[in-house]
Chains A and B, each alone.
Chain A
């Protein structure tokens, strides 16, 4: 049967893909009917709360919970000791997750969980926390990445460093990565000018609106249910099962609607505690983090310290580039410095390039992913130096980037030779856009920057069920954090040749589908989309088979066109085409239900590039920055639902604006976080922003049947750099420390003026 389309981008003129249908979750979300993490309740439900360390670094000498357990209404208390039985069987990464969820022998940061209670009410739970007596031995702490690398810095872990770290470094230095090719010394010798600078960026939080929340219920037979706000409920199931010593099959996890994640919900925090409390209490336990807990105890991104050196000819050709990147990833190994080191120069075709990344631990919360983890800080440093060189040579920054842009056939700085990529197309789109030639006034500056992200696919499993009324139910296992249900409906409808509103997509629980990787890596429209297309084609094969049997001809003699089974040609016979609905209506009598299914390890995600253009105005008196214009140019491969793609572009830009201008974890001398709330941790709000303009560039990804590239992460890579270049131009001083808050800008202006 001729239905095995090759992965051929010319398969059809799209009818539904590329349109902007109404989102299927829209009404629920604007009417309040959508159920988020905290919206689920259960009979007999208890409230869980966490006792958190007030110290940045302290040895836990003892925990006495007797008084709390004796308080009427308290049904369970758990501490690190409750997880002791499973510790020895965990690998290093999983052990770190456990210790982050519940401290064992040391509290490693302000806000680190040391005990949890389940009680009949919030009031009782809070009272119980006050009755838990923790005897701490306060230890010296370290917060800054450069300070943590010093030989005399307080040490968090005695044996966390791996074999990549040379002897003689602080024990807080836990990983070293090196990438590159060519001979940088030779390349620098060929340069007409070299600029070398150090940059620092502070930790920023993803700032998702919905705090972490879950409802756990474990029965006396060990069977458990977990309702949770997460980017990956299969990850939650496997992690929690490991941390509680359960079989994965005994834990069914259902993902709630999600009020933002951006990478921050790709791990667990309260979920194992809720399950442990439920197991101990024998009742369901609901846990909801406060905003303060979200800031203190979930995963912001790394803060960083980066040295970049670039050599350039007076014509604008980069001859050599090097970078040394130091990221602190909180109290555990795993900062995304390798991705920073790999991506720093990935947008450019550089013959001689070298980056070194250092992963460092410090007394801060364990970092979590944040859109393109590790890349925005690296791009900030690199693009700032390129900008400075352009200014010194009086070269057009866009032309210089085009001259050096990575293209198909370029060997990237991380070793991979690119296939079809769209960086140059985004630069050309920027040049053609009116924004690039718009007039600027006094104290205003324009910044341009490029960004790269890898994207990936991963394990994916979907089921597509054809209902007897001609509608289709699609089950996916990837939580919808950016409109994927709409995109999946479009791709299924496109393949099947039916209307968009005939398909409904749901995010199925962990018992309903095979394992699905987390919704991250900009992977869902690519990977779940690819799986959806394949599942639809699987269903089409079966639909054609049913038609063949009704017609009494071979299956190979039936084709599927625009929603109908048809005889393949004159030799196949003359039959009236049968629609999906007609075949489905009689499916009970032709062989039973019709369904398509796919399990795939999706690869070929295709790299993604973007160019951002931003104009800003700096008030030299106050140091306040106003963003005047912002335009995103990004390669989406193929935009399935352009409105969602534009939303991803805009969202990345806005989060980048916050990271660049205001967002910052501020600690006191005591190592305690001083701004754990949205009043003091300033994310951009609508009144801070201009309309973010977007241009979707489409250079199809050959690894996807429709050419899709992920778009969720790349959009946060260029903003820090583009805004820094804009502000540096407006303020007439190079800004080397993010965020560029008013005090920092004022200080930089004053220092530049010699005041």
Chain B
């Protein structure tokens, strides 16, 4: 079980909570579980997200391992110039 922080405007789609607990061992499972347990998050998940794990931000890294005590933060998908 890991805890993921979501950004403020997603809270409503997640029952008003800013931290969600899901069963996930890696980022792929995290995104799958979030979509399954909180269907109203699916549009944003489909548009794309980044995931920060212990301060390191991943855009596409399904198999990054998540630990029980990892700080996991969902972020809009990063891009740059």
Contact = CB atoms under 8 A, between A and B. Distances in A.
Interface of A: 93, 162-164, 176-180, 206, 262-264, 266, 338-339, 342, 354, 356, 368-373, 414-419, 453-459, 520-523, 601, 603-605, 703, 712-713
B78 A177 contact: no
B34 to A, nearest CB: 15
Interface residues of B, number: 29
Contacts, number: 105
Nearest to B55: A419
A604 B80 contact: no
Contacts of B64: 603
B55 A418 contact: yes
Contacts of A369: 79-81
Q: Which 5 residue pairs across A and B have the least CB separation, nearest first?
A: A263-B81, A521-B80, A178-B8, A369-B81, A178-B9
A264 B80 CA distance: 10
Contacts of B29: none
Nearest to B74: A415
Given A163-B43, A419-B55, 20 more contacts: A177-B76, A179-B7, A263-B80, A266-B81, A339-B76, A370-B81, A414-B7, A415-B7, A416-B57, A416-B75, A417-B55, A419-B56, A520-B79, A520-B80, A520-B81, A521-B81, A601-B58, A603-B58, A605-B57, A703-B56
A415 B81 CA distance: 22
A553 to B, nearest CB: 36
Contact of A604 (B44, B56, B79): B56
B78 A454 contact: yes
A456 B48 CA distance: 15
B17 interface: no
Most buried by A among B56, B64, B75, B79: B79
B62 to A, nearest CB: 9
A601 B43 CA distance: 24
B40 A163 contact: yes
B71 A417 contact: yes
B43 A180 contact: no
Contact of B9 (A164, A263, A372, A417): A164
A148 to B, nearest CB: 20
A143 B79 CA distance: 25
Nearest to A165: B9
B9 A177 contact: yes
10 contacts: A162-B47, A178-B9, A179-B8, A263-B81, A342-B76, A414-B75, A416-B52, A417-B71, A455-B80, A605-B57
A488 to B, nearest CB: 19
B60 A521 contact: no
B45 to A, nearest CB: 12
B59 interface: yes
A417 B40 CA distance: 27
B73 interface: yes
A456 B59 contact: yes
B61 A603 contact: yes
Contacts of A419: 55-56
A206 B64 CA distance: 36
A417 B53 CA distance: 9
A703 B61 CA distance: 15
Nearest to A178: B8
Contacts of B50: 456
B67 interface: no
Contact of B80 (A162, A373, A417, A418): A373
Contacts of A262: 81
Contact of B81 (A180, A354, A372): A372
B47 to A, nearest CB: 8
A414 B7 CA distance: 8
Contacts of A415: 5, 7, 52, 73, 75
B13 interface: yes
B57 A603 contact: yes
Contacts of B54: 417
B60 to A, nearest CB: 6
A526 to B, nearest CB: 11
Interface string B36-48: 0000100110010
B39 to A, nearest CB: 11
B81 A373 contact: yes
B58 A342 contact: no
Given A178-B8, A416-B55, A419-B55, A456 B78 contact: yes
A417 B76 CA distance: 16
Question: Which of B47, B54, B59, B73 has the largest count of A CB atoms less than 10 A from its CB?
Answer: B59
A603 B51 CA distance: 11
Contacts of B58: 601, 603
Interface string B8-38: 1101010000000000000000000000000
B52 to A, nearest CB: 4
A619 B80 CA distance: 37
